[in-house]
Structures are given as C-alpha cells and as structure tokens.
C-alpha cells in the first residue's frame, strides 16, 4: 500500500519534472536568439555573447521551477542575460583597454564576425556604449525583433511610458553623439 | 508606428536593427541544450529536498518532544510506609508533600535521573508516578467519605466492604476431585 503510494508519488514527481523539461525546452528554443542578441548588444563578440547566453539559460534552467509565471520567462531571461553581459564586460580586461580609447577614435571591428560592419555601425555602437544602462537596454531591445514599446516594457517590467521616455532620451543622445540631424541624414 | 516620426529616428532605428541583426552560430542552441542537460537535475532534487527536510525535522521534533514528555512523567518517589490507613486517609496536602518531597527528588533535578539510586538508598520507598499517587489519593478520599462513583471493578461478584481488607475470591465452580483407575492393560508386571 505504502509502496504503491510512494511509486505513484515518484511517477507524479518525475512526470512533473518531465513537463518542466519540455516547457523549458520550448521556451529556450524560442528565446535563444533574443538572449544571444541582448548579450551581443553589450559585448559585440559572438563567442562572448554565446557564452553569456548559455550561462543565462543554465541559470534559468536551475531556477525555472521557481518561476511561477511562465509568461515572464523572456523578461526574466533578458534581464539576467543583460546583467551577465555587463558583468563580463566589466571584468574583461581586454575590453577595459578598449574602453580607454578616446571616443573620437572609432574601434575597428574586423574579422569574420563583423564582415558587414562599416564605419557607421561602429560609430553607432560606440554611441550606444556611451549610454547609461537603462537607456542602453531599452534601445537594444527595441531594435531586436521589432519590439514595440509595449513589448520592451514587458521585457523590462516597467511601464510603457517609462520605455517611451527612455527610448526618446536614448535616441536624442545617440543623434547628438553622432551629430545626426535632419539635414545630415543620408 | 507613429506616422509622423522623425526621419532621423527612422534611420536610426533602421541602423540599430541592422547592426543587432546577428545570428548565433548554428551550434549555439545544440550546445546550450547539451549544457543544460549536463546540469544536475536541479528541480527533481529541488522538488524533493525541501519537503523531505521539513518532514525529517518534524519527525525529529516530534520524537524529541515525546521523549521529553515521557521523561517528565518519570515516577516520583512516594513512601509506602506513610501510606494512609483505612481509618483516616491522608489529607491531600500531606500526600502531595510526600509525593514531591525534596529529599527524594530535588526540584532542580530530573526525577528520572536519580530515582534508581534513591530507591537503592531508601528500600522502604517505592516508585509511584505522580498521576498514579494522585489517583490513589483521590480514590481513597472518596471511599473514606463514602462518595464518588464506584469503580467498574467493584461490580465484581464479590462485595466491597473495607477497601483494605483481604479480598476473598469466591470459587466460581465447584471442583470435585477426579479418581482415575490405574492402567493395567498392556503393562508388563
């Protein structure tokens, strides 16, 4: 009797774990590019971005059962990835050297990872790097997968009005740094 | 999208989307899946360890409480040589004093710790639990005062007169001795 109950309980627990695994697998598949791009927006190196996104998924997997609202998985993942990417960037001595370069000197993004990166893109990245964190993550998320204000607000767990003002401020600063005006647009 | 957007903003957004439109390597998802699978089964363990730990702590706590409870009920020493006579039962105050006499078990000591050695030092004393001595005392008081409900065992076939008189148990059946003739058949003389 007791053995049967224990067996049923074990099967139920294993079944629930299997369900969680399947759910995580599905969420991971649909969010992998998002996590990678968030990390890439901070690190700009594909290998580093993949490592950070992978670490974020491992942490998410470890704590997945604690996430009661599965609809917030992407927001949870985005914030974790962004934080991990910032931590890596801060601790990376190579990047510290690069950040010491004056803003007027545009870093070279050579190699196969950035074959299509031109001077304009490099300047844009430099301008994004100069933004405060809150503005940076908002502008990066808005550029990923065509996220609108509402989607960015959901990912950042802040009101839509806050996202609007952050995006406006971010665009203004970038335009100022790049000296883009209506007359200079190409 | 806002129809009256600044063209510079539109250009900026377009440029941002272009520079962020980078795909991870083809093996990225497979690598992540492999790494996640290589992790210890965190949520299976996580599902079990908390309830198991809570249950274990509760069981240990209950066991400890039951042990403490049973030790608190360890018999106290009572003097049988001062047991009440049938003529006059010891008043409750006296019985209480006897049952918790400090010389037998000091208040600061657990009675269970010393009762064996104390009993050896005072062979005239026997161990009686406090609840038992209270019950006996109450019983004797009520009997001596002729009140109270008679206990169940008083419904026995014999009468209950003097509670301290020797109890005579009547024979419930008349027994007659059997006489058995000695076996002679098949026995060699």
Give the model confidence (pLDDT) of B71-95 as tens digits.
Answer: 765 555 554 445 454 544 445 444 4
Q: What is the ipTM of this complex?
A: 0.71
The beta-carbon neighbor of A182 closest among B7, B13, B36 is: B7
Count the neighbouring beta carbons within 10 Å of the beta carbon of residue A116.
Answer: 11
Q: Do B22 and A58 touch (CB under 8 A)?
A: no
Instruction: Say how far apart CA B183 and CA B186 lie, in whole Å.
Output: 8
| Distance from C-alpha of A116 to C-alpha of A109, rounded to nearest angstrom | 9
Q: How far apart are the CA of B88 and the nearest CA of chain A, in angstroms?
A: 58
pTM of the predicted model, to two decimals?
0.52
Query: Would you state the pLDDT for residue B50?
Result: 74
Could you tell me which residues come within 8 angstroms of residue B91 by beta carbon, excluding any fewer than 6 positions away? none
Locus of tokens 């990923």 = A144
Q: What are the distances in angstroms from CA B17 to CA A15, A80, A142, B1?
A: 42, 22, 8, 15
Q: Does residue A169 register a pLDDT over 90? A: yes
CB contact under 8 A, B20 and A41: yes
Residues of A in contact with B26 (CB under 8 A): none
Residue of A13, A61, A125 with shortest CB distance to B19: A125
Instruction: Say yes or no for a CB contact (<8 Å) between B18 and A121.
Output: yes
How confident is the model over B116-165, as pLDDT tens digits? 555 566 666 677 788 888 888 888 888 888 776 655 555 555 555 666 66
Are B36 and A57 a contacting pair at CB < 8 A?
yes
Residues of chain B contacting A37 with CB distance shorter than 8 Å: 20, 22
Q: What CA–CA distance (Å, rounded) separates B35 from A57?
A: 9
- Residue that the structure tokens 């600063």 belong to: A173
pLDDT at A101 exceeding the cut of 70: no
Residue matched to tokens 């007027």:
A104
């Amino acid at each position: 009797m007791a053995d049967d109950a224990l067996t049923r309980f074990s099967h139920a627990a294993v079944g629930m774990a299997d369900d969680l695994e399947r759910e995580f697998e599905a969420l991971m598949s649909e969010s992998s590019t998002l996590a990678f791009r968030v990390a890439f927006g901070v690190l700009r190196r594909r290998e580093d971005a993949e490592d950070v996104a992978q670490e974020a998924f491992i942490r998410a997997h470890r704590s997945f059962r604690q996430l009661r609202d599965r609809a917030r998985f992407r927001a949870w993942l985005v914030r974790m990835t962004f934080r991990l990417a910032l931590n890596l960037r801060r601790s990376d001595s190579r990047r510290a050297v690069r950040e010491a370069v004056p803003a007027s000197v545009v870093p070279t993004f050579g190699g196969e990872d950035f074959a299509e990166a031109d001077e304009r893109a490099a300047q844009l990245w430099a301008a994004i790097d100069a933004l405060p964190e809150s503005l940076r993550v908002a502008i990066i998320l808005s550029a990923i997968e065509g996220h609108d204000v509402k989607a960015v607000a959901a990912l950042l767990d802040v009101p839509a009005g806050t996202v609007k003002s952050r995006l406006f401020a971010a665009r203004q600063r970038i335009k100022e740094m790049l000296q883009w005006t209506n007359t200079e647009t190409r | 999208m806002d129809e009256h957007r600044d063209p510079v903003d539109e250009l900026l957004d377009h440029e941002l989307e272009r520079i962020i439109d980078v795909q991870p390597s083809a093996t990225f998802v497979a690598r992540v899946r492999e790494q996640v699978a290589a992790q210890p089964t965190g949520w299976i363990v996580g599902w079990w360890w908390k309830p198991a730990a809570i249950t274990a702590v509760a069981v240990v706590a209950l066991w400890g409480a039951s042990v403490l409870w049973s030790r608190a009920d360890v018999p106290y020493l009572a003097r049988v040589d001062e047991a009440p006579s049938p003529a006059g039962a010891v008043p409750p105050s006296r019985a209480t004093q006897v049952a918790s006499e400090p010389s037998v078990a000091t208040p600061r000591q657990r009675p269970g710790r010393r009762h064996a050695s104390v009993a050896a030092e005072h062979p005239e004393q026997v161990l009686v639990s406090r609840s038992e001595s209270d019950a006996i005392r109450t019983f004797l008081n009520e009997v001596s005062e002729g009140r109270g409900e008679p206990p169940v065992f008083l419904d026995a076939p014999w009468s209950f007169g003097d509670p301290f008189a020797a109890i005579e148990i009547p024979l419930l059946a008349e027994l007659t001795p059997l006489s058995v003739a000695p076996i002679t058949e098949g026995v060699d003389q």
